[in-house]
């Protein structure tokens, strides 16, 4: 085990409210009686709907076929009948279709013992095919189809494979819980990826707050006949970002474009890879954290895709105070949802509730040009300048001055004493610039 260097600049140390959820085991959320499953849950174009109202579907059945290079398959998370295929609008993305399924019939796989498939003797293309067919995408936030990251061209060398177990958001503990309970599965998935990529170096990156997991992973690597470095990363946010992670691992801590020969996979993504290859299981559920001051019992839940966000609060003992807003994702990069009927998707890292008292404390004031946002930006941008340009509608200049390099990590908004919602403004500025560029 080694320790890596910290960020070369910027970053913040937000409060971590994950202690309660970190100490509890992963719980299975109730299966929804109605699942709303969007056909755009990945980085590319929406999947093409292959069912119609009235169709009976089984658990894990394909309902959306990948349509384009960066698209991904979408499957039914429950058995039942298709009630409708309707328009759906994500709070942070383009409109798409969603398949509404009413629970009906028996589960064919859940709760039953499944046969483990031998994968070591499979051709490389078949292993990739299982990952692609299962609709596995990056579950750490990027949502890029995972088979694309693992489909390196023959003869092309991979210098580094990283299993990213560094918390991507403060107060979310789902990845920690997965590593605590699924160490063997994650290591086996690293073994699968090693067979696909043959990397020169393998690293399991953990946050300093997960140091208690090191001994178990060391034992698991030995049991599985694997050799991998375990590196503890600084807990300063956003250390889990791929580019920052790789910059820390190279020993310099200096930000530079990530080398194309490096592959980084979130531990939740690796668990999905394991299930796809070993059990032929499509991605129809994920582990996420439900938390926030109004939540009675913050927990890590294994949730079927398509369940409404509002139902997850019931799984956590309900709410102890009136909520002002709910964020899908984490407190730093998450997106405010306007309805508790919003469904959980592959990209939902967590659900965070904020009380009215918290909202009052974050009342927005005018920019005082203090420079705090500039000081904490890991990307050496000037958020206050970008903010003014976007307010004036000059997104072209904002783009030239680095708007596209902004990863929406939320450090600037966290540090802003005026509580200006800079992440939302930058996200909107990017969308406005893209619309203008198209036309």
- The pLDDT tens digits of the residues spanning 293-337 come to 999 999 999 999 999 999 999 999 999 999 999 999 999 999 999
| pLDDT tens-place string over residues 80-94 | 999 999 999 988 788
* pLDDT-derived band at 112, boundaries 50, 70, 90: low
Q: Which of 133, 188, 125, 193 is nearest to 154 (CA)?
A: 125
Residues 99 and 233 in one domain: no
Residue 257 has pLDDT above 70, yes or no: no
pTM exceeds 0.85? yes
What per-residue confidence (pLDDT) applies to 16? 81
Q: What angle do CA 322, 327, 328 make, to 5 degrees?
A: 135
Query: Do 242 and 387 share a domain, yes or no?
Result: no
Examine the fold and report which residue of 109, 130, 161 is the final residue of a domain before the chain moves on: 109
Query: Do residues 93 and 149 share a domain?
Result: no
The domain tally of the chain equals 3
Question: Residue with structure tokens 């393998």?
Answer: 202
Assess if residue 319 is contained within a domain: no
* Same-domain check for residues 275 and 380: no
Quick check: is 334 in a domain? no
Q: Which of 79, 109, 139 is the last residue of a domain?
A: 109
> 177-193: b or e for each residue (b if 16 or more CB lie within 10 Å)?
bbbbebbebbbbbbbbb
Residue 354 lies in a domain: no
Q: 245 and 201 share a domain?
A: yes
Domain for residue 174, yes or no? yes
Sheet holding 285-291, edge to edge: 27-28, 299-304, 285-291, 350-355, 323-328, 335-337
Task: Look at residue 316 and tell me if it is in a domain.
Answer: no
Examine the domain organization and report whether 79 and 221 are in the same domain. no
Domain range for 95: 32-109
Q: What does the pLDDT read at residue 166?
A: 94
60, part of any domain:
yes
């Amino acid at each position: 085990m080694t320790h890596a260097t910290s960020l070369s600049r910027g970053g913040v140390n937000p409060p971590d409210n994950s202690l309660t959820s970190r100490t509890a085991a992963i719980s299975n959320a109730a299966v929804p009686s109605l699942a709303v499953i969007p056909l755009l849950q990945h980085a590319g174009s929406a999947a093409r709907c292959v069912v119609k109202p009235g169709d009976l579907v089984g658990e894990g059945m394909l309902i959306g076929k990948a349509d384009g290079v960066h698209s991904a398959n979408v499957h039914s998370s429950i058995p039942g009948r298709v009630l409708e295929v309707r328009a759906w609008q994500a709070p942070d993305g383009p409109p798409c279709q969603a398949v509404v399924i009413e629970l009906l019939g028996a589960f064919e796989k859940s709760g039953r013992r499944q046969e483990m498939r031998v994968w070591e003797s499979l051709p490389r293309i078949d292993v990739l095919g299982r990952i692609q067919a299962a609709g596995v995408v990056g579950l750490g936030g990027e949502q890029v189809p995972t088979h694309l990251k693992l489909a390196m061209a023959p003869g092309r060398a991979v210098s580094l494979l990283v299993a990213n177990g560094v918390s991507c958001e403060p107060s979310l503990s789902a990845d920690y819980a997965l590593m605590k309970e699924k160490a063997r599965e994650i290591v086996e998935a690293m073994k699968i990826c090693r067979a696909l990529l043959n990397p020169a170096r393998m690293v399991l990156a953990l946050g300093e707050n997960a140091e208690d997991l090191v001994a178990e992973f060391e034992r698991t690597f030995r049991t599985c006949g694997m050799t991998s470095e375990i590196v503890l990363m600084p807990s300063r946010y956003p250390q889990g970002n791929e580019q920052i992670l790789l910059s820390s691992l190279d020993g310099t801590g200096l930000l530079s474009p990530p080398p194309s020969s490096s592959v980084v996979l979130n531990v939740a993504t690796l668990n999905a890879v394991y299930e796809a290859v070993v059990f032929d299981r499509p991605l129809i559920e994920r582990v996420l954290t439900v938390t926030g001051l109004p939540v009675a019992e913050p927990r890590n839940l294994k949730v079927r895709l398509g369940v409404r966000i509002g139902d997850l609060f019931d799984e956590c003992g309900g709410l102890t105070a009136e909520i002002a807003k709910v964020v899908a994702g984490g407190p730093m990069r998450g997106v405010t949802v306007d309805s508790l009927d919003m469904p959980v998707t592959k990209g939902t890292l967590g659900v965070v509730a904020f009380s009215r008292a918290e909202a009052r404390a974050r009342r927005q004031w005018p920019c005082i040009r203090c420079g705090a946002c500039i000081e904490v930006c890991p990307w050496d941008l000037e958020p206050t300048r970008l903010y003014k340009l976007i307010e004036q509608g000059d997104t072209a200049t904002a783009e030239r001055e680095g708007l596209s390099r902004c990863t929406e990590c939320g450090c600037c908004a966290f540090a802003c004493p005026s509580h200006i919602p800079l992440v939302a403004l930058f996200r909107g500025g990017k969308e406005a610039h893209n619309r203008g560029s198209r036309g």
